[in-house]
Amino acid sequence: MKRFSLALLLLAVVSMASCQREDHGDIAKLSGRMFVFNYRVATANYLVTLQPLAPITAGSTAEAEFENPRGGAPLSTVEKLFPKTEKIVLQSPPIECVKKGRPYKVTIRLKDADGLLRQTIETSISSNTDQSLLPAKPLVVGPLYTPNPDVFRTDGTTDMSPVKGCPK
């Protein structure tokens, strides 16, 4: 009986060990990255998605730093993460001056509830469209999509000019 109990215990330990996930330390992996151009409201943003690889603990955060296409200090955002998160979505504040084909740097830091850095992901994003195709002013204003009078003037002319002052 004692041998049977010992064998059963050994079998249980071996089977539990084989079911455990191999821990490589990564919390998430990059699953998507792109620029989003919204022609209607004349905005552009970075959009990055991550797929969780390990359970997310309550209070964790994802901090993203995006290269500023206009130049100057990087733009940043912080997102709270939740235990049942199936996809982590990080979006930059509005940006200007994106150039077609140029890679822009993005750094993502995943931190636990205590602020301890758990993972860093570095990547770059290139656009297949130049932002000079986007007007500087929104085409519509208000909740009813009223044509913007700064773009569609009462004299019948339109101002679809792009953002000015972008670095070359």
Quick check: 61 pLDDT over 60?
yes
pTM of the model: 0.81
Q: Assess contact for 21 and 115: CB atoms under 8 A.
A: no
Quick check: 14 pLDDT over 90?
no
pLDDT band at 166 (very low <50, low <70, confident <90, very high): very high
Quick check: 126 pLDDT over 60?
yes
* Full DSSP string of 64-92: EEE--TTSSSPEEEEEE--TT-S-EEEEP
Return the closest-CA partner of residue 89 out of 30, 47, 146. Answer: 47
Residues pairing with 107 in the sheet: 65, 122
Residues pairing with 147 in the sheet: 140
pLDDT at 2 (0 to 100): 56
Question: Please, what sign has the CA dihedral across residues 69, 134, 167, 93?
Answer: negative
Average pLDDT over residues 17-25: 49
Tens-digit pLDDT profile for residues 84-120:
999 999 999 999 999 999 999 999 999 999 999 999 9
Which residues, including other chains, have CB under 8 Å from residue 68's CB and lie 6 or more apart? Answer: 74, 75, 95
Label each residue of 117-161 as H, E or C: EEEEEEEEECECCCHHHCCCCCCEECCCCEECCCCECCCCCECCC
Quick check: 3 pLDDT over 90?
no
Return the closest-CA partner of residue 121 out of 50, 72, 73. Answer: 50
Q: Quote the CA–CA distance of 92 and 60 in Å, as a whole number.
A: 19
